[in-house]
């Protein structure tokens, strides 16, 4: 079920006396918030995937004040009276009836589940590598938690750096000033170079901590597997897309392990030796191969 469409109906069925129940608020959080605010990497430690997490607040303190609904940090963020407005992947932001639901719930004392669930042993998270292929839905959480704070239209920097938006598959594949993802070629993809620190500044920009080895490996597998969408359809190769990076020559036509092809038209200035620093300006070929336009020592 798509909670985005089911939620207004759920609120309407609950009626005014029950609209502030935790079940409706929980559905809202699951639909719009927990892609970022769940798990150990939740921004500022704020977890909205349980009543206990909401009430615990963030590293900055409580996010709810049942005695001052309008002054609650959570309400101020979703209403845009504190920056950045939430959810970070908006617009669209929360609708008026969704904000009213949050306000009513807080005013009612922010009640939790009617009957506490019986404690049970946590289930281990599913292994996305188990089936041998990675789809976008299995990496979307990494972008949501670590990237869209800056790389979205709701960027804390005012605009996404270098025009790169990472809040949807379409935006990721479109890239920004340059191509960020080359399906089938993770080693030459700007995204991988940035999260591994091969290109500067290393990402995420507010690191350390950086992405874990497991998260980087997942992103690598996704790109090398064709940057598939949630249905398993590989992304098209961005033929002609621009590529530019600096790194260390690891072969006669290879930078940081990413091979490229020299042509008679490639401009070479002060041919860099293996082990020295170089800058490559190139374009993406039909098969995802990197075709050098200019190579120079740096």
Tens-digit pLDDT profile for residues 173-188: 999 999 999 999 999 9
* Percent of the chain surpassing pLDDT 90: 68
Q: What are the extents of the domains in the chain?
A: 3-107, 136-224, 242-297
Tens-digit pLDDT profile for residues 63-101: 999 999 999 999 999 999 998 889 887 788 899 999 999
Paired tokens of 76: 């101020």
Rounded to two decimals, the pTM is: 0.75
Tens-digit pLDDT profile for residues 258-292: 999 999 999 999 899 999 999 999 999 988 999 99
Query: In b/e form, how buried is each residue of 26-36, taking b as 16+ CB within 10 angstroms?
Result: bbbbebbbbbb
Tens-digit pLDDT profile for residues 11-63: 444 444 345 789 999 999 988 898 889 887 788 889 999 999 999 999 999 99
Rounded Cα distance, 6 and 8, in Å: 6
Pick from 135, 133, 166, 162: which is nearest to 148 by CA? 166
User: What end-to-end distance do the CA atoms of the chain give, in Å?
Assistant: 54
| 162-170 average pLDDT score | 94
Pick from 294, 117, 133: which is nearest to 229 by CA? 133
Residue 60 burial (CB count, 10 A) = 10
């Amino acid at each position: 079920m798509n909670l985005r469409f089911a939620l207004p109906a759920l609120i309407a069925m609950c009626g005014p006396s029950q609209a502030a129940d935790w079940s409706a608020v929980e559905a809202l959080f699951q639909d719009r918030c927990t892609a970022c605010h769940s798990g150990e990497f939740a921004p500022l430690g704020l977890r909205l995937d349980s009543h206990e997490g909401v009430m615990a607040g963030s590293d900055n303190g409580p996010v709810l004040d049942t005695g001052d609904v309008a002054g609650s940090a959570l309400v101020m963020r979703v209403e845009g009276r504190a920056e950045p407005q939430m959810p970070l992947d908006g617009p669209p932001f929360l609708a008026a009836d969704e904000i009213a639901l949050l306000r009513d719930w807080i005013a009612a004392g922010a009640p939790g589940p009617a009957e506490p669930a019986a404690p049970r042993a946590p289930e281990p998270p599913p292994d996305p590598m188990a089936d041998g292929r990675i789809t976008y839905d299995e990496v979307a959480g990494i972008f949501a938690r670590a990237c869209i704070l800056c790389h979205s239209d709701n960027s804390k920097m005012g605009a996404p750096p270098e025009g790169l938006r990472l809040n949807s598959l379409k935006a990721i594949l479109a890239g920004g000033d340059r191509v960020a993802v080359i399906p089938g070629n993770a080693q030459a993809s700007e995204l991988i170079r940035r999260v591994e620190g091969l290109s500067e500044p290393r990402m995420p920009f507010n690191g350390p901590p950086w992405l874990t080895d497991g998260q980087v490996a997942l992103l690598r597998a996704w790109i090398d597997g064709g940057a598939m969408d949630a249905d398993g359809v590989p992304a098209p190769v961005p033929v002609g897309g621009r590529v530019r990076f600096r790194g260390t020559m690891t072969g006669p036509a290879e930078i940081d392990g990413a091979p490229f092809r020299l042509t008679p038209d490639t401009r070479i200035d002060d041919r860099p030796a293996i082990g020295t620093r170089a800058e490559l300006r190139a374009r993406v070929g039909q098969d995802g191969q990197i075709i050098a336009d200019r190579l120079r020592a740096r």
